Amino acid sequence: MEKITYIYQAGRTARLDNMNSSAKEFFYGYFDVKDKLNDVILLEFDLLSNNRFTNYLNQFLRKISGLPFFSDLIVNKKNKKTLLESKTIVSTNQRVGFSILPMLWLNSTKNINSIVFVMGLFNNNPKNFIKKFFREFFIKLFMKTFKNIIFLSSGEYQYVKNSFPQYNNKTHFLSFSIDQNFWTFENSPQSNQHDKNVLFIGNDGKRDYEFVIELAKEMPNVNFTFITKQIKIDEIKSKNVRLLNGKWDDLNITDLDIKNYYQNSSISIIPIIESLQPSGQSVALQSLSMGVPVLITKSDGFWEPNLFEDSKHIIFVDENNVDLWKEKIENILEDTEKYNLISSEGKKLVIKNNNLEIFSQKLMQIINS
């Protein structure tokens, strides 16, 4: 029997016991693969690992390369046996990928179908010569070692195809997809248009947190809800902000809670810093699936720029300028026809393109390749 092993950082095991209040997208096809194939198992980082030697080695590798080596959290004695007996290993992000890279490289004769999902790996370009050298070395080793590399941003995918043409046969682009059975509006989102409730969700390093604080300050007649761990209460500059301390993998705010916030929001905003990383992708798709219009900074990292049409499916904002964002927000909240168009067309596009069933079908093709 062919064993398939999924590896995650954290947060999945706890959610498996309460899937009624959780969406499935951050399992990266696990449920559909498990339905089709029998021997599918799930591993997570052991955050309490105390392997001192491996820990020190990973600290050294992170320091010289800036890359996320954490093999001490996953390649213990028990997991190593499981991993080396696997026909396919699915690393659900590059942190997991780099953490098992030494093991895969040292056991390259095992012919494991090693699959890794990548987001924003090629965004960083260190100025330090030593770090730059080792980063490039380990990325080349990463590209050479993994059998299939899946990108969730078309921009990063095209960059890699141009930069590493020798690996075009192992690189793939999959549209990140969401659980549309979960992210669906129980009432008409259009009824929220004039409530002037703006939602901001995010924790990654490419969100522009300082800007969103300033934007809320300059729009005192609009209600803002921030769901993030990256903003502290003493950083808020205005009384129109409700701050909720939340992050996906710590479960203090569930997906069902997030869904309720979407249902009570007029629009969702995603101000980001320029990057190849597809920042805000899941929040945007969840919002659009709920029929909640999205405003997002236009950047090179936007996941499918040729598919999402400005002012039809989504609203792009050229830069993080307060006056520009104020104008865009006020316009969408006042223009009922435009609001209804984006609410409807954005939802239709996500249902058609960012569907977990299609995602899983394409992933199965890669697993079986």
- pLDDT exceeds 60 at position 81: yes
What does the pLDDT read at residue 28? 96
- Phi and psi (nearest 5°) for 145? -80, -45
pLDDT category at 366 given cuts 50, 70, 90 is very high
- pLDDT exceeds 80 at position 47: yes
Two tokens at 301? 């990292």
Long-range contacts of 14-23 (CB under 8 A, 24+ apart): 14/251, 15/251, 16/42, 18/254, 20/256, 21/254, 21/255, 21/256, 22/182, 22/254, 22/255, 22/256, 23/178, 23/179, 23/182, 23/183, 23/255, 23/286
- pLDDT exceeds 90 at position 57: yes
In this prediction, residues 270-289 reach a mean pLDDT of 91
What does the pLDDT read at residue 249? 65
| Separation of CA 62 from chain center | 22
- pLDDT exceeds 80 at position 248: no
pLDDT category at 190 given cuts 50, 70, 90 is low
Mean pLDDT (the chain) is 92
The one-letter code for the residue type at 178 is: I
233 contacts: CB under 8 Å, gap ≥ 6: 243
Among 38, 41, 109, 102, residue whose Cα is nearest residue 70: 102
Tell me what percent of the residues of the chain surpass a pLDDT of 90: 80
| Separation of CA 110 from chain center | 30
Query: In 112-123, which positions are buried (b, 16+ CB within 10 angstroms) versus exposed (e)?
Result: bbbbbbbbbbbb
**What global pTM score does this model have?**
0.92
- pLDDT exceeds 70 at position 1: no
| Separation of CA 88 from chain center | 22
pLDDT category at 118 given cuts 50, 70, 90 is very high
| Strand arrangement of the beta sheet that strand 241-244 belongs to | 241-244, 223-227, 197-201, 267-270, 294-297, 315-317
Q: What digits encode the pLDDT tens for the residues 140-168?
A: 999 999 999 999 999 899 999 999 999 99
- pLDDT exceeds 70 at position 262: yes
pLDDT category at 127 given cuts 50, 70, 90 is confident
What does the pLDDT read at residue 142? 98
CA dihedral 170, 171, 175, 180 (to 10 degrees): 30
266 contacts: CB under 8 Å, gap ≥ 6: 192, 193, 194, 195, 196, 197, 198, 292, 333
The partner residues of 146 in beta bridges, in order of sequence, read none
- pLDDT exceeds 80 at position 339: yes
Q: Residue length, the chain?
A: 369
The one-letter code for the residue type at 70 is: F
| pLDDT-wise least confident of 12-26, 171-185, 332-346 | 12-26
What does the pLDDT read at residue 330? 96
What does the pLDDT read at residue 250? 64
Residue 343: other Cβ atoms inside 10 A:
23
DSSP secondary structure letter of residue 205: T
In this prediction, residues 166-178 reach a mean pLDDT of 95
- pLDDT exceeds 70 at position 134: yes
Domains and CATH numbers, the chain: 4-177+355-367 (3.40.50), 189-353 (3.40.50.2000)
What does the pLDDT read at residue 260? 93
